[in-house]
Amino acid sequence: MIDPAWMPERLAAFLGPVLGPEVRVESYEQVLGGFSRLTARFRCSVDGGPSRTLILRGDPPPERETTRTDRGVEFRVMSALYRAGTVPLPEPLALDESGTALGTPAMVMEDVPGRSLLHEAAATDAAGRPDLAMRLVDLAVRIHTVDTASLPELDRARDWDGYIDGCIAAWREIERGHPESDPFIRYLATWLDVNRPPPAPLGLVHGDFQSTNVMVRPDGQFVALDWELPHIGDPREDLGWCKWNEAIQPPGLMDVDEERFCREYAERSGLGADVVNPRTVGYFSVLSAVNACRMALPSIAAFARGANSNLVAGYIVGYVATFHQQFLEVTRGIEKASVGTS
């Protein structure tokens, strides 16, 4: 899909009906970043006008796939959010859902100039990070308060308990489907079931909310990228997942002052401090890992039996060990904190 020998020509033909009859692709390069999708950046001009930079994001070939998500869902959710205008995100421009035009299911979107929030945080001194953290709160609240009526693509659980039941069942299902027993997952599923936090209203969840998926524009605006895992769920999943990723991709922003982060989020979202606090976010930091495990374990299994030769699939075994570590650390930490407050 990413072959620079022929992709510019295909892109020009594909984008013609969307952008204008005379699309010319002037440059094309692969972008390193996410592990799941193939990404390329290219410049193109339309009808001889000024050139613009766009992003192509598509599925890798099956033997190199680490996860399966739907470009059509991603494109339609992004389009609905872009039209609503409350969540900053790249403008989605074109979708090749079947892959007939570009060789694989793919979408084209606006390129967002700037740098990732992870790099921004690394380049910001300790005094400046609290401000970044508060702007991250703002982005999270914007996502989580979207009117979900505009997102018919996404499934709805009957209620909060039903949703959490489904997440826990998903954990057990992942373990059952893996060719090697994983007692950490079985432990976690049991623990999650008996340690449920107070419920929160279900809403839009980004699904991979972390500092590598937030771009900071030159004017300072935060933009949410990588919408391949959106769903209707508990908004604390995004906070928990962000917290989890900070542990393996420092520097963190939530951990600058987690109490304050949670307090600000609770206030701006209207959810309240009993619903959003470091303990409940900790609960969701392990619950929300379900999506990552659902993606990682099948690709590891495929790698083990020789059906997948993607180096990433072998490499992320270390990632799974880190999940196990987090499961125990977080559950122990929450239990200790609960004893301290009871």
Partner 1 sequence: MITQPSCGRYLEVVREELRATVAPAVTDPAAQAALGMIDSILAAVATRCDHEVAWMREEIADIEACATAVLDAGADPAGMVAEALAALRAHRSPSDHTGDVRAEYDLAGEVLSRSLEAGLARGGELAGVVRGALERRLAREMQIRGEFSLVGR
Residues forming the site for partner 1 (CB under 8 A):
30, 32-33, 35, 118, 175, 180-184, 186-187, 190-191, 194, 212, 248-249, 311-312, 314-315, 317-319, 321-322, 324-325, 328
Closest distance between partner 1 and the C-beta of residue 320, in Å? 9
Query: In Å, how far are 58, 74, 81, 149, 270 from 77, measured between CA atoms?
Result: 16, 5, 6, 11, 24
Which residue, 175 or 237, has its beta carbon nearer to partner 1?
175
Closest distance between partner 1 and the C-beta of residue 250, in Å? 8
Among the listed residues 118, 166, 143, the one whose alpha carbon sits nearest the alpha carbon of residue 238 = 143
What type of residue sits at position 163?
Answer: Y
Q: In what order do the strands lie in the sheet with 222-224?
A: 115-116, 214-216, 222-224
Query: Going along 76-137, which residue ranges are E strands?
Result: 92-96, 106-110, 115-116
Which residue, 235 or 252, has its beta carbon nearer to partner 1?
252
Evaluated on CA atoms 107, 113, 117, 123, the torsion sign reads positive
Closest distance between partner 1 and the C-beta of residue 145, in Å? 29
Which residue, 16 or 250, has its beta carbon nearer to partner 1?
250
Closest distance between partner 1 and the C-beta of residue 218, in Å? 21
The DSSP letter of residue 25 is E
Which residue, 213 or 280, has its beta carbon nearer to partner 1?
213
Closest distance between partner 1 and the C-beta of residue 57, in Å? 16
Q: In what order do the strands lie in the sheet with 52-58?
A: 23-30, 38-46, 52-58, 106-110, 92-96
Closest distance between partner 1 and the C-beta of residue 169, in Å? 15
Among the listed residues 315, 323, 331, the one whose alpha carbon sits nearest the alpha carbon of residue 294 = 323
Task: Count CB-CB contacts under 10 A for residue 110.
Answer: 16
Which residue, 45 or 190, has its beta carbon nearer to partner 1?
190
Angle at 280 between CA 119 and CA 164, to 5 degrees: 105
Which residue, 45 or 212, has its beta carbon nearer to partner 1?
212
Write down the residue that tokens 């987090």 correspond to: 326
Closest distance between partner 1 and the C-beta of residue 322, in Å? 6
Which residue, 124 or 190, has its beta carbon nearer to partner 1?
190
Closest distance between partner 1 and the C-beta of residue 223, in Å? 17
Is the distance from CB of 269 to CB of 235 less than 8 angstroms? yes
Task: Count CB-CB contacts under 10 A for residue 220.
Answer: 11
Closest distance between partner 1 and the C-beta of residue 18, in Å? 29
What type of residue sits at position 208?
Answer: D
CA distance linking residue 114 with residue 296, whole number of Å: 29
Is the distance from CB of 155 to CB of 231 less than 8 angstroms? yes
